[in-house]
Structure 1
Amino acid sequence: MIDPRRLRVLKALADHGTVTAAAKILYMSPSAVSQQLAALETETGHELLERRGRMVRLTATGTVLAGYATEIAAHLERAEADLAAVTEGLAGTVTVAAFSTAITEVVAPAMAALGTRAPQVRVRVKDAEGPVGQRLVLDGEADIAIAVEHRDTLGRNGDSLLRRPLYDEPFDALLPPGHPIAERTAADLTALAGDPWITPWPGNPVHDVVLRACEDAGFQPEVLCLSDDFRAVCALVAAGAGVALVPRSALHTFKPAGVVVRPVAGRSPVRRVFTAVRRGSERHPLLNPVFEALRESADQLTTLGALPRIKAE
């Protein structure tokens, strides 16, 4: 008989890659995690881990069993959701992890709407850039993540999280006054190949989008300044430090002074934003009004003209 509690330990190792990381998430010591995994190997009669010095990785058998562990975790999430539905659990707290622009443009308006429509639903917000929000959801420290699609989106946790498109938005070019192409109606990226660039830090999905857009235009940008704060990026562009690409919604609530904003000529790079929840938890009744409010906020961005009508795929 396989102890399902040990499957939870195996899933944590599969999700986080190391015994130390799994132990931290499970609030266990690394030695206790190792003992649980050794006991699971005894229960199954199979080697589940390959040990190479201090490093471990799942064997083929371990990978198969970890897949079942993920399915069992999803079933437990569904069971909790159905129990909550039976008791009409429409009061409680939902934690949303999101990057800063999404908090400003989507989460905050959704909270205001919920305050009137469903005051019994309390929303707690955590600022989380890059893949951090998804990790918070995976670890049970958040219920919903709002994140950006990038190369790490479909990593080892693809089976544990359910992702749904929320909105897509194009990037606009920021140019200093007097730039040679500032008078054009749209910015051709090839004309910016010789300029210094300002981007978010590596690890921020926007950084990856900008670099990929430049590479598609046939050049490698010279990144001179790094900042995850779009107001700071605007200030640096206005000071003549370089050019930049920023998501359109980042400029919605303020007009950057001393900066020329132009759409990108041709096919603009796009930031694809999605929500992520633990698979199975999407049926929890507390999440339904929050999802509805988030969707309405995202749609309102388009209605107000902050975003074009790009259909999320």
Structure 2
Amino acid sequence: MSATVTGEGRLGLVCLEPLGPLTLNEDHAKKVSETIMSQAKDVQCEPIRWNPTNLLYLFKDNEAYLDLGKAFSNGQLDEVMGFKVVKIEPAMFVNPPKCLVEVETAAGQGEDLQGALLHVIAPFSGAFPFLTVREANSTDNGAATSNNREDGPPAKNRRTEDVVPPISLTLSFPGNMQSRATQVNERLASSWRRVNFPDQTETDPAFYVDERGRLPAIGVATGAPAAGVKLSVFVQDEAKFAEMAGFYAKVLGTDAMERVTKEGQSKVSMFPLSPRAEFYVIRQPALNLRTASNLTLYFQVSGFTLPGRRVGDDHMELTDPEGNKVVLFTVGK
């Protein structure tokens, strides 16, 4: 596929469904793309990206995009190298943040879950790229179950009753946004459960967890110098804290700012992502963590330097030392 394409045109996403036990790899993606262009004669377009279920095309103009749509409507793309084209839709490139959390949910539940999240986060920001929802489909391995309960029991011998997912997002509000912080707190309190971290003080963020166990924890911090977002992964095994911090240092390509707080009990490694975003690796003793295989941390990187499984031109899957799912992705330039 093309690494760089310049010029005028229109982007379109061709969505595929396998007709048998097939998945796209790079060579197969090229053959599928060539077959689509052969069967949809005279359509002027060029494939530029792929993943296991989609092909991204750059069309010469809007008319070329509509021409492929006509070929699809006429049934010319019902069988393409073992795949069926099931949908063609417009696409656009966006500038994603350096880190975000993806929530996988069962088919048919994504819209409701997205709406619930937007309701909670809207007072903080109308556009929030740090948390996305993806519906599982029938071809996903380990697709989300219908009730999306926690995937594993909390660790034994913990001292807190509240069960917390291993990933959280904290919304930081400056002084001139306190009324908005109050709105977010009220909306979370009405449908989420407030949890207390060990040794929590009145100045620490208020944290909430989704009662149905589908989402990362959300924290609300007030009195911040500026509005911002903190994404965190909690470490369960104290012996793995250094390994976890080292892993994310390699992912982000930068050293962490480390500190030990509260008389040596809590350990924190902080990685700056942007002027308004930070990523934290946190070891909080006595925190009752659960596993959550429907949560994935995404990191934008300049290249793939860690071992993992390629799932497209620009994505790689791997896991951190405690088994949390991580996806690295690059953005075409």
State the TM-score, normalizing by the size of structure 2: 0.26
Structure with the higher strand share, 1 or 2: 2
State the TM-score, normalizing by the size of structure 1: 0.27
Structure with the higher helix share, 1 or 2: 1
